[in-house]
Structure 1
Amino acid sequence: MNIVIAPDSFKECLSAQEVATAIARGWSKVAPNDELVEIPLADGGEGTTIALTTAAKGKLHQVSVTGPLGEPVHAHFGLINHGSTAIVEVAEASGLHHVPAEAREALKASSRGTGELILAALKHQPKALILGLGGSATTDGGAGILQALGARLLDHKGHDIPSGGIGLASMTHACLEPAIQRFLGVQIVVACDVTNPLLGPQGAAAIFGPQKGASIQEVAQLDDNLSHFARILETQGMDIASFPGSGAAGGIGGMAKGVLGARLQPGVNLVMEALQLEQYIRTADLVITAEGAIDAQSASGKTPAGVAALARSCGIPVIGLCGKLSGELSPLHDTGLTAAFSITPAPMALSEAYTNAEANLEQASEQLARLIHSISRQ
């Protein structure tokens, strides 16, 4: 059999390559003669820079930038197409994985480091910039990025507002032209991993705020602050809230399109095209995809949905593996996912699930191979 293994990372746990290798290792225990093709993916979030830069045989650059809560972190950007295209990923500079679970402060987390990473990439004078969203620790509407790029976000006294989503409440005026000018002659494409709006019950704060450390009260505060931010920018003729994906990465999606003029594109589609996934799927007997969680949100731009849709167009079945399986999966099945299975064999603490994720992936893949080969022999 010809098996294509095309997973995303298990965030804060395993890289996409580690996930693919574990699945292949488990399958090979049962069917060592099967042809296994490992194609690690990303959807705009963690791993996008490496996936795209590697696929295009580009060059990675490392710089030190400001982390989500102000600490220095090492982050990478990529240059491809002979330096004409830069790849910057929010998760590299402002990712949730930079902040331990017990130290997360959704109100204070800033995207400034991503802005600094963009500045470092722009020094190479690219003609295009791909901005990967997803996996962020921030809910500041991209305010930190704008500040790093030279914009002035001011309170009623003419002072710069504080960092993070909490600072948006005190903003009364924005001078955005310095940030906008930096992109003259540069086309911005945003690789977006969700379709959530900026505001409301499906918005950036409500859906993603809790995983970033926000309490119920803080979720409401962040949503109000983002709404305030959007209203001020609207007075300058800029819409950051009315379109799908505006809530991606804590509102960076809305800012990138509404302020910087970026074009939003499903991140997984961009990565799959760059890696030429379709040509491998067309000759496959089965596709296996994976992500840390497969749930109702997965159909909104996540890797399993992208892989499933591509495989369905080729008439190939797709199995999804994940650490956590929950919610209504009908939209995913409608997209093309044949079935999904959790790799977690029993109830366990999250820390234990992380520790055992690689072994559990391997075991689940082995059992899946046993089932598929048993059926194929009948």
Structure 2
Amino acid sequence: MRFLIAPDKFKGSLTASQAVEAIARGVRSADPSAEIVSVPMADGGEGVVEALVTATQGEFRVTRVTGPLGEPVQARYGLLGDGHTAVVEMAQAAGLVLVPKERRDPGKTTTRGVGELIREAVKTGARRIIVGIGGSATNDGGAGMAQALGYRLLDAQGREIGPGSGALADLDRIEPGDGAKALEGIEVAVACDVTNPLCGPKGASAVYGPQKGATPEMVARLDANLARLAEVVARDLGPRIADLPGSGAAGGLGGGLVAFAGGKLGPGIDLVVEAVGLNEAMQQTDLCLTGEGSLDAQSAFGKTAVGVARVARRHGVPCFALVGSIGEGAAECLDAGLTAYFPILPGPMDLDDAMARASELLGAAAEQVARGFLAGARAASRRSAGCE
């Protein structure tokens, strides 16, 4: 039997690679002779660097960049096994996890480090860059990133504006500077799983600003500042990003990558499926096992388990998901592609205990699922033989 194991991370418990190892351990307990193909996955947000580098046998790199508060941080990015694709996570340079709760202020945080991270990736010789933009602490529309790439964002006196969304109120004009050439000839693919525009009631500031520390009074100012950025970008550079679906992702970084890096926004899971060669791996597979921390109605819209299941369905392969928790509307994922889903908890359990034992629980659940599948396959084989 050939098993394809393609889970996402279990956030706070297991990386995608660790989840693969746990599931594989369970499958081998059920069938020591099983052929196992391991493909760690991600949906394009946090964890995408590890998933893509591991799945393609690439290499990790670490560099020092400007963090969201202006202080230096160590950021990891990756070079994929194809030799010409790099992958970066904005969360490594400007993520909410890098900002202590008491210091969260989306009017001050910057994406400068994201631009520095992209420039480092370019230095490796990469001709294609995949950018995962989940988990941001910022709301500057990619202005800091643009400055790091070489664009000049100037006030009415011709001075560079400062960091953060608050400084966009002073933006008078944008000069391409060296920025227009920084990514010349390089394809930038942006893993974007939301359709929020840059501005307005469904925009970056209104929807995501409060998660990053914005008060209701701040939201109005932040939205006005992003509207100003969009106006100046349209006038000086051409792209119209104010209402572009997905431009509001990651505090407007989605729009900034379009405006300043020629980025193409697309579903993160689709970019990952292509990069790891999941369609090719799915061939000749008897069962696909995927999984992630939780499954609910929202999982049907671009999350890893359902994205993997859709690929499996195209190849006629059953796909089971092993999940930490099952939320409301999870059954919608069955219509979206999953064959079945199974919780890994054997019963009521303290959350901290469950997270600490995640590898053990995932492996045990995988063993039982594999045993059930194998029993069904053997029964079907016997029936088929009896009919011949």
TM interval, short-chain normalised: 0.7 to 0.9
Contact 1:180 1:259 (C-alpha < 8 Å) held by counterparts: yes
Which is greater in Rg?
A: 2
1:308 equivalent in structure 2: 309
Q: What's 2:37 paired with?
A: 37
- Residue 215 of structure 1: CA displacement? 5.5
In the other structure, the counterpart of 1:62 is: 62
Q: Are the aligned partners of 1:128 and 1:186 in contact in 2 as well (CA < 8 Å)?
A: yes
Equivalence for 1:109: 109
Provide the TM-score with structure 1 as the length reference.
0.83
Q: How many residues align?
A: 377
Matches within 5 A, 1:148-163: 148-156=148-156, 158-163=158-163
Post-superposition offset of 1:287: 1.7
CA-to-aligned-CA distance 1:95-129 (integer Å, 9 cap, x gap): 34434566544443322111111122233454333
Contact 2:139–2:251 (8 Å) recurs in 1: yes
What displacement does 1:211 show? 4.8
CA-based RMSD: 3.3
Aligned residue number for residue 75 of structure 1: 75
Tell me how far 1:23 sits from its aligned partner.
Answer: 2.3
Aligned residue in 1 for 2:336: 335
Structure 1 residues 280, 122: CA separation in 2 closer, same or farther (over 3 Å shift)? closer
Q: Deviations over 1:178-226 (max 9, x none)?
A: 3222122323222334444334555444554455455666556544443
Query: Displacement of 1:31 after TM fit?
Result: 4.0
Q: How far apart in 2 are the matches of 1:238 and 1:158?
A: 22
Q: Deviations over 1:2-25 (max 9, x none)?
A: 322111223444211012112223
TM-score, with structure 2 as normaliser: 0.81
Give distance in 1, aligned partners of 2:135 and 2:244: 20
* Residue deviations 1:265-308 (CA, integer Å, cap 9, x gap): 33322332232222332322322222333334433333223212
Alignment partner, residue 359 of structure 2: 358
**Which residue identity does 1:175 align to in structure 2?**
E
Task: Please name the residue that 1:346 is paired with.
Answer: 348
> Are the counterparts in 1 of residues 16 and 51 from structure 2 also a CA contact under 8 Å?
no
Which residue number in structure 2 is paired with residue 262 of structure 1?
263
Residues 369 and 186 of structure 1, relative CA distance in 2, 3 Å threshold = closer
Residue in 1 that maps onto 2:385: none
Mapping for residues 180-259 of structure 1, pairs under 5 Å: 180-200=180-200, 202-209=202-209, 211-214=211-214, 222-236=222-236, 237-259=238-260
Q: Deviation string for 1:111-156 (max 9, x for gaps)?
A: 2111111122233454333333323333322122112122233445
Distance 1:28 1:353 in 2: 23
> In the TM superposition, what whole-angstrom CA distance separates every residue of 1:40-96 from its partner, at most 9, and x where no partner exists?
012322333344445555443321112222332222333457864443332332234
Q: 1:34 to 1:214 in 2, by over 3 A?
A: farther
Distance 1:145 1:247 in 2: 15
Secondary structure of the residue aligned to 1:131 is: strand
Rounded to whole Å, the distance in 1 between the matches of 2:99 and 2:49 is 20
Q: What secondary structure sits across from 1:235 in the alignment? A: helix
Match of 1:123 in 2: 123
Deviation at 1:335, TM superposition (A): 2.7
- In structure 2, the gaps of 5 or more residues are 380-388
In 2, are the aligned partners of 1:153 and 1:171 still within 8 Å (CA)? yes
Letter aligned with residue 163 of structure 2: S
Unaligned 5+ residue runs, structure 1? none
Q: Structure 1 CA distance, aligned partners of 2:202 and 2:27? A: 38
Q: Which residue of 1 aligns with 2:24?
A: 24
Does the CA contact (< 8 Å) of 1:9 and 1:46 recur in 2? no
Partner of 1:279: 280
Secondary structure in structure 2 of the residue aligned to 1:271: helix
Q: 1:232 to 1:327 in 2, by over 3 A?
A: farther
Counterpart Cα distance in 1 of 2:368 and 2:32: 14
In 2, the alpha carbon distance for the partners of 1:355 and 1:100 equals 24
